[in-house]
Amino acid sequence: MLKLAGSAAGLVILSAALAGCGSAEGTPAAAPLNPQFVTAGSLTVCTDMPYEPFESMKGGKPIGFDIDLIDAVAARLKVKPVIVDTDFDAIQSGDSLNSADCDVAISAMTITGERARVLDFSSPYFDASQAMVVPKDSDVKTLEDLDGKKIGVQGGTTGELYVTDNAPGDAEIVPFEDASAMDVALKGGEVDAAVYDNTVVGDVVARNPGFQLAAEFDTGEQYGMAVKKNGSVDLLRTINDVLADLKSQGGYDEIYSKWFGVAPAN
């Protein structure tokens, strides 16, 4: 899920101009950034909620790790962030961005080659993998134990791809719209196990005392924000600048610790 905001290009242009004045003699100044927005004065952000702790609603307001990152981008642009809850498949397929429903997407979305053909990704901002959850009375420890059983996944995600590629041939893979739907299915016995991003599995187990973590799978995934393919270069440059500044100045560590309770691994 992701959010950005509006038309404060003036601040961005001013920043670029000042940077140019300080450049070495003979070095051409960087071209000023002039991001364009779906709605003037707003950074419209597509995200798929709920997916705690990355994005969810509390008291009618969007909160989460991804939301804090996108708020930092909007602040740099001096525009208002507007979060739009969007089906994840519409985000990862490029439909939401390429049809101008939003300016940017942030939704704990893994950067993949297939998605990069229809979206332009930012620099990676998070490392992740996959994790399998089962009922506490289950004997399932590995994917191989699910031969002939049902495995819940969120449709259109890398979790679905991993399970499809690695589960036993007789396992039935059942896609769901979101993590909450997987919770309900696992609790009700509709599936025998469910696979989530490892970054949210702590919240899944915490809100479902009858669940336990069975296994984690190192998939080497990285999350990125995304913009319209070949259409938002200046916005993408701004996002990357904000991410770099957050990481170099300690802001990223503060946001990470706020939502995950520990400092990020270096």
Digit-coded pLDDT (tens) for 175-232: 998 888 999 999 999 999 999 988 888 889 988 999 999 999 988 899 999 999 998 8
228 - beta bridge partners? 119
**What is the predicted pLDDT for the residue at 179?**
86
**What is the predicted pLDDT for the residue at 30?**
55
Fold agreement (9-125+224-260, 128-221): yes
**What is the predicted pLDDT for the residue at 261?**
84
Extents of the domains making up the chain: 9-125+224-260, 128-221
Q: Tens place of pLDDT for every residue, the chain, 266 residues?
A: 333 333 333 323 223 333 344 444 454 445 567 788 999 999 999 999 988 899 999 999 999 999 999 999 999 999 999 999 999 999 999 999 999 999 999 999 999 999 999 999 999 999 988 999 999 999 999 999 999 999 999 998 889 999 999 999 999 999 998 888 999 999 999 999 999 988 888 889 988 999 999 999 988 899 999 999 998 899 999 999 999 999 999 999 999 999 988 888 76
**What is the predicted pLDDT for the residue at 262?**
82
**What is the predicted pLDDT for the residue at 27?**
45
> What ranges in the chain are assigned the alpha helix state H?
9-21, 65-77, 88-92, 95-98, 113-116, 158-166, 179-187, 201-207, 233-249, 251-260
Query: Fold for domain 128-221?
Result: D-Maltodextrin-Binding Protein; domain 2 (3.40.190)
Query: Fold for domain 9-125+224-260?
Result: D-Maltodextrin-Binding Protein; domain 2 (3.40.190)
Cβ distance 227 to 236 under 8 Å? yes
Cα–Cα distance, 144 to 164 (Å, whole number): 12
Closest CA to 192 of 131, 129, 139: 139
- DSSP code for 37: -
Q: Give the 3-state secondary structure of residue 19.
A: helix
